[in-house]
Chains A and B, each alone.
Chain A
């Protein structure tokens, strides 16, 4: 479970939403939508699709909220998002260009004084990740970008915990090799 600043408030909001409070659900959306959007964006590389996935995910989770426990809530959001993304992949051709990241890099060219090194790191990492098999990308994204536990990652990707550990080890090793080749 990711530690939010307002952990106890969030738990209270969850219970209010579970009792049918739409206002509380709107606030939970505001808290978690960044995570879900980012998760979808890294996979789809497209702002519109990522926004659609985020909205669809929250709608689906809302309808099944009554049967859920707070402890599993965040992982469940990712899991539903993952399933919605898989459906989106099936219906749409995957867009491989990370348009927002490219736009940021373009911004940096115009404003070189602002932390250009950081943005270049992001681009390097983005390119290296794209060279990994999709399953490895999923594992690394869940574990290191979204700070999800092995158990939560396994649940989201519909895999066993052992599979996640092994995939994480291999993916990390491969990513290091790609990055060291570049440098």
Chain B
């Protein structure tokens, strides 16, 4: 570019010296005023941002720890040597999940995995491991509260059902009692979610509800006093409503004419008609 006079072009553009002087003073003042902000943004003088630390830890976890150890850790249970590694890989998975849906799916899978661990610990009959596994399950309840409300309800149900199945297998009294407490807390959470849902979609009051064609068939499960009993279907789940309150929910898989369901405080037998429709009338009979 010898024949192109860049220097002449360059020298034809020069800055206003008065502006430069003013701007330099203003820049100095700005820098002095905001010198704390640079620290707030970038943390330390070593420029180790939290993101860099997290990435470094994730890389360490993925490469420094051998794949064989990670594979073995997959089947570990609370109280075992490789269990912390299993939880670490789970947390890394959760941390690198990019969208909310993926994070939700991972959280639910982790909760299910906790119940599986408890189930296996019970089968192996290691009381110490069982108690640790119970503690892990308890801890997941807090995590589940962060889930979106529309998923929370189904997840609480799923986990509660699994825990009830696990409780049946438990042999140690202390494990059983703690599991009962956890199941009760899940039921409370489920009630909360359902009450919120009802508040969000106000349904007609029991007196305003369409009456069933044969209301005389309705009866309460205990004591024989007359109550308004209805069945409603919601997303495949059958809800049994007594005096306007949802007391029992039945999973879609239990689509039979006679359903044994558990209500808090005892179990009842629900005789549905051949098809359960919205506002069908059912009989509730004491199971005992």
The segment from A54-62, A78-86, A150-158 found at the interface with B is A54-62
Chain A residues near B6 (CB, 8 Å)? 125, 144-145
Dominant SS among interface residues on chain B: helix
Q: A51: which of B1, B4, B19 is its contact (CB, 8 Å)?
A: B19
Query: B8 in the interface, Cβ–Cβ < 8 Å?
Result: yes
Query: A1 in the interface, Cβ–Cβ < 8 Å?
Result: no
A34 touching B5, Cβ below 8 Å:
no
A101 touching B12, Cβ below 8 Å:
yes
Chain A stretch 28-66: residues in CB contact (< 8 A) with chain B: 29-30, 33-34, 37-38, 41-42, 47, 51, 54-55, 58-59, 62-66
Q: Give the contact-size bracket for chain A.
A: 35 or more
Query: A22 in the interface, Cβ–Cβ < 8 Å?
Result: yes
Instruction: Determine which residue in B13, B38, B45 has the highest number of CB atoms from chain A within 10 A of its CB, and name it.
Output: B13
Cα distance A26–B25 in the bound complex, in angstroms? 7
Q: Give the contact-size bracket for chain B.
A: 35 or more
Chain B residues near A126 (CB, 8 Å)? 9, 12
Q: Contact mask B8-39 → A, CB, 8 Å, 1/0?
A: 11111111100110011111111111110111
Q: A66-B47, A101-B12, A122-B5 are in contact. Are A26 and B27 (CB under 8 A)?
A: yes
B28 touching A26, Cβ below 8 Å:
yes
Q: B8: which of A59, A62, A66, A119 is its contact (CB, 8 Å)?
A: A119
Chain A residues near B31 (CB, 8 Å)? 17, 21-23, 25-26, 62
Cα distance A119–B34 in the bound complex, in angstroms? 42
Instruction: Determine which residue in A19, A67, A172 has the highest number of CB atoms from chain B within 10 A of its CB, and name it.
Output: A67
Chain B residues near A66 (CB, 8 Å)? 38-39, 41-42, 45, 47
Q: Contact mask B45-59 → A, CB, 8 Å, 1/0?
A: 101010000000000
Closest to B37 in A: A63
Q: A66-B38, A145-B10 are in contact. Are A125 and B5 (CB under 8 A)?
A: yes
CB of B108, distance to nearest CB on chain A (Å) = 38
CB of B54, distance to nearest CB on chain A (Å) = 16
Chain A residues near B42 (CB, 8 Å)? 64, 66-67
CB of A41, distance to nearest CB on chain B (Å) = 5
Chain A residues near B80 (CB, 8 Å)? none
CB of B4, distance to nearest CB on chain A (Å) = 6
B23 touching A101, Cβ below 8 Å:
no
Q: A22-B35, A125-B4, A175-B4 are in contact. Are A38 and B10 (CB under 8 A)?
A: yes
Q: A121: which of B8, B14, B32, B34 is its contact (CB, 8 Å)?
A: B8
A41 touching B13, Cβ below 8 Å:
yes
Chain B residues near A172 (CB, 8 Å)? 1
A119 touching B12, Cβ below 8 Å:
yes
Chain B residues near A170 (CB, 8 Å)? none
- B residues sitting closer than 8 Å to A (CB atoms) are 1, 3-6, 8-16, 19-20, 23-35, 37-39, 41-42, 45, 47, 49
Subset of 11 A-B contacts with CB under 8 Å: A20-B38, A23-B32, A25-B27, A26-B31, A33-B20, A34-B15, A37-B13, A64-B38, A66-B39, A66-B42, A122-B5
- A residues sitting closer than 8 Å to B (CB atoms) are 17, 19-23, 25-27, 29-30, 33-34, 37-38, 41-42, 47, 51, 54-55, 58-59, 62-67, 100-101, 104, 118-119, 121-122, 125-126, 129, 144-145, 172, 175-176, 179
